[in-house]
Amino acid sequence: MDRRAFVTKVPLTIGAAAAVGAGAEAAQESPPEPYNRNFPQAGNPGGKVPDFAKNFVTTDMNGTGPDGKPTGQTATFSGASKKGVTADTASAKMQLTADEQAILDGKEGPEKAKLMKIMVRFGETFGATKMVDLGGAPHSNLFIGAPYLGSLIDMLNECADAGLKSYATYTVNPRPYDVYNVQNNATEMEMIYQGYPLQMKLDYVHSRLGAPDLNYRSCACYLDEVGNAPDPGTYVAWCESSAVNYGNSVLGIRTNRYGAGMEMICAMLGKAPLFGLMTDEGRKAKWLIDVKTTGEPDWGALGTAIGRKCVEDIPYIAGVEDYFGGEVNNQNMHKLKAMGSATAAAGAVGCYHVEGVTPEPKEKGRDMLAEGYETYAFDDAEQQRIIDTFENLWPDQDAHPNAAFIGCPHNTYHEVVKWVKLITGALEEAGQDETAIPVYMFMPNVVRTRFLEEETELAGKARRAGMFYTNMCAVVYSGMKGFSDRIRGVTNSAKTRNYSSIRYFPDDKLVDIILTGKI
Q: Which residues bind ligand F3S (CB under 6 A)?
A: 173-174, 219, 242, 341, 408-410, 442, 473-475, 495
| 3-class DSSP state of 120 | helix
Considering the complex, state which of residue 220 and residue 514 has its C-beta at the smaller distance from ligand F3S: 220
* DSSP β-ladder status, 139-140 and 171-172: parallel
Compute the least distance from the CB of residue 428 to ligand F3S, in Å.
Answer: 29
Compute the least distance from the CB of residue 341 to ligand F3S, in Å.
Answer: 6
Considering the complex, state which of residue 167 and residue 177 has its C-beta at the smaller distance from ligand F3S: 177
Considering the complex, state which of residue 103 and residue 474 has its C-beta at the smaller distance from ligand F3S: 474
Burial group, residue 75, by CB count within 10 angstroms (0-12, 13-18, 19+): buried
174: DSSP letter: P
Compute the least distance from the CB of residue 29 to ligand F3S, in Å.
Answer: 32
CA distance readout (Å), 449 to 63, 215, 472: 41, 9, 15
Compute the least distance from the CB of residue 245 to ligand F3S, in Å.
Answer: 11
Q: How far apart are CA 384 and CA 506, in angstroms?
A: 12
Compute the least distance from the CB of residue 136 to ligand F3S, in Å.
Answer: 20
Considering the complex, state which of residue 145 and residue 409 has its C-beta at the smaller distance from ligand F3S: 409
Strand partners, 442: 470
Strand partners, 140: 172
Considering the complex, state which of residue 345 and residue 459 has its C-beta at the smaller distance from ligand F3S: 345
Compute the least distance from the CB of residue 459 to ligand F3S, in Å.
Answer: 21
User: Taking Cα atoms as reference points, which of 481, 518, 313, 317 lies closest to residue 404?
Assistant: 518
70: preceding bond cis by omega (within 30 degrees): no
Considering the complex, state which of residue 117 and residue 410 has its C-beta at the smaller distance from ligand F3S: 410
Considering the complex, state which of residue 159 and residue 473 has its C-beta at the smaller distance from ligand F3S: 473
C-alpha angle with apex 427: 422 to 429, nearest 5 degrees? 95
Compute the least distance from the CB of residue 174 to ligand F3S, in Å.
Answer: 5
Type of residue at 150 = G
Considering the complex, state which of residue 30 and residue 341 has its C-beta at the smaller distance from ligand F3S: 341
Report yes or no: 1 and 158 within 8 Å, Cβ to Cβ: yes
**Around 497, how many Cα atoms within 13 Å sit in the side-chain half-sphere?**
26
Compute the least distance from the CB of residue 456 to ligand F3S, in Å.
Answer: 26
Type of residue at 289 = I
Considering the complex, state which of residue 128 and residue 344 has its C-beta at the smaller distance from ligand F3S: 344
Burial group, residue 270, by CB count within 10 angstroms (0-12, 13-18, 19+): middle
Compute the least distance from the CB of residue 450 to ligand F3S, in Å.
Answer: 19
Compute the least distance from the CB of residue 260 to ligand F3S, in Å.
Answer: 12
Compute the least distance from the CB of residue 147 to ligand F3S, in Å.
Answer: 20
Kindly state the helix (H) or strand (E) to which residue 6 belongs, with its residue range. helix 3-18
User: Taking Cα atoms as reference points, which of 307, 308, 311, 245 lies closest to residue 277?
Assistant: 245
CA distance readout (Å), 126 to 279, 314, 393: 13, 18, 37
User: Taking Cα atoms as reference points, which of 81, 78, 74, 76 lies closest to residue 56?
Assistant: 76
Considering the complex, state which of residue 10 and residue 239 has its C-beta at the smaller distance from ligand F3S: 239
Report yes or no: 281 and 304 within 8 Å, Cβ to Cβ: no
Considering the complex, state which of residue 167 and residue 505 has its C-beta at the smaller distance from ligand F3S: 505
44: DSSP letter: S
Compute the least distance from the CB of residue 225 to ligand F3S, in Å.
Answer: 15
Considering the complex, state which of residue 273 and residue 350 has its C-beta at the smaller distance from ligand F3S: 350
* DSSP β-ladder status, 131-133 and 271-273: antiparallel
User: Taking Cα atoms as reference points, which of 330, 271, 265 lies closest to residue 14?
Assistant: 265
Q: How far apart are CA 134 and CA 429, in angstroms?
A: 52
Report yes or no: 71 and 64 within 8 Å, Cβ to Cβ: yes
Compute the least distance from the CB of residue 243 to ligand F3S, in Å.
Answer: 8
Helix boundaries (H) for 45-148: 98-104, 110-125
Considering the complex, state which of residue 144 and residue 285 has its C-beta at the smaller distance from ligand F3S: 144
Q: What number of other Cβ atoms are within 10 A of residue 181's Cβ? A: 15
Report yes or no: 224 and 328 within 8 Å, Cβ to Cβ: no
Q: How far apart are CA 306 and CA 437, in angstroms?
A: 32
